[in-house]
A = this chain, B = another copy of it.
Amino acid sequence: MKIVLDAMGGDIGLSVNLEGALMASRSFSQEDTIILTGVRSEIEKMIKDKRMSFGCKIEIIDAANNVGMGDSPTKALQEKPESSIAKGLDLVKSKRADAFFSPGNTGVILAFSLVKLGRLRGVNRPALGVIFPVGRHPLMLDVGATPDYKPENLYQFALLGHEYMKIMRDNDKPVVGLLSIGEENSKGSVPYQRAFDLIKQDKEINFLGNIEGDDFFKDKVDVIVTDGFTGNILLKFAEGMVHWFKVSFKTSVKPLPIAILGVILSFPGFLGIPFFLVSIKKLLKKVSYDEIGGAPLLGVDGVVLIGHGKSNPKAVRSGILNAKKLVEHNFIGELKGIFENRRTSETD
């Protein structure tokens, strides 16, 4: 198995990615390869300087470090065919690698994936999925790849998400919900009502029906189907809210040192406070996106996972291992079978 890691992607870049690859390599066999795309001299120097010893083969494909996190996808497509993203996806396209992971620019990865790998037959539009670390930790898709959508797109997202979570959760019957504004189908918007019917008639999908915004936080579904417009707004809202809570909480704990000081001055109280602080820290960590790993780009003809720009080595590790798991379970082959049997409309 060969997994490509875009070694230059992300806010910090090389050091985080190499450390993540090192951690991931311990879960690979010696026959496997992690292919690093990026500036060869920099990669080789860092591996040497840090005396990194990997648990699998490492291959370096020289590529440019020229895609910034704010770059426009259209411009990158035209001007940056030598980038670590483009070259990494070339490897998947030509079957020299089985999967691609990058914590880089999402829009650029999406654009190159569509151009180089193309869509799976039967999938009209791709979807980007994100795990929400609450409730049953559901996968929500799409979160931005397809803001203008049709009912058929939502149905295809349900199939893609269902298959993805089957593998990721080792569960043959992941529960799928359609994000709408009322339990009864009649309450949704017209395209969502139609999507409901399409998903419901597919006996392969374990469809719970409509779910609402507060159902994210309940132990209810594994897959949340939405369109790229609603999903993107919701994702950014959630990120903003988590950030706001953290900042507000820090303001709230400002008086805490006075409390702690008093406690330290008097031994008995000292026993409780650290225990309390650990609990709070755990809570804030739970809602942090650092530990999720990659967001799958679904519907393209290849395994592509995109990490958060702020990924730490652990997140890079988990992105690479998710890619590995998808390859082991023949994810793309399974999807091809599913859409072959269900092909609805090739036009869009």
Contacts and interface: CB of A to CB of B under 8 A. Distances in A.
A42 to B, nearest CB: 32
Nearest to A149: B189
A259 B263 contact: yes
Contacts of A229: 180-181, 188-189, 192, 230
Given A251-B279, A260-B272, A262-B271, A238 B240 contact: no
Given A147-B181, A245-B245, A265-B268, A255 B275 contact: yes
A243 interface: yes
A283 B238 contact: no
A107 to B, nearest CB: 9
Most chain B CB atoms below 10 A, which of A134, A144, A269, A276: A269
Interface string A289-301: 0000000000000
A212 interface: yes
Interface in A6-27: none
A254 B268 contact: no
Contact of A262 (B189, B216, B266): B266
A217 B232 contact: no
Contact of A266 (B213, B263, B280): B263
A248 B226 CA distance: 26
Contacts of A234: 213, 233-234, 237
A198 interface: no
A270 B147 CA distance: 54
Contact of A258 (B241, B248, B265, B271): B271
Contact of A233 (B134, B181, B254): B181
A179 B238 CA distance: 14
B232 A181 contact: yes
A134 B282 CA distance: 24
A153 B333 CA distance: 44
Given A259-B263, A259-B273, A263-B269, A216 B240 contact: yes
Interface in A179-193: 179-181, 187-190, 192
A280 B252 contact: yes
A214 interface: yes
A239 interface: yes
A262 B234 CA distance: 43
Contacts of A237: 213-214, 216, 234, 237-238
Given A212-B233, A243-B214, A276 B253 contact: yes
A31 interface: no
A111 B279 CA distance: 47
Interface string A191-214: 010000000000000000000111
A329 interface: no
A217 B244 contact: yes
8 contacts: A212-B233, A213-B237, A214-B236, A256-B276, A262-B271, A263-B269, A265-B266, A266-B266
Q: Which 3 A-B pairs have the closest CB atoms?
A: A266-B266, A262-B269, A214-B240
Given A134-B241, A234-B237, 15 more contacts: A179-B233, A180-B229, A189-B229, A214-B236, A217-B241, A233-B234, A252-B283, A259-B263, A259-B271, A259-B272, A259-B275, A262-B266, A262-B268, A262-B273, A265-B269
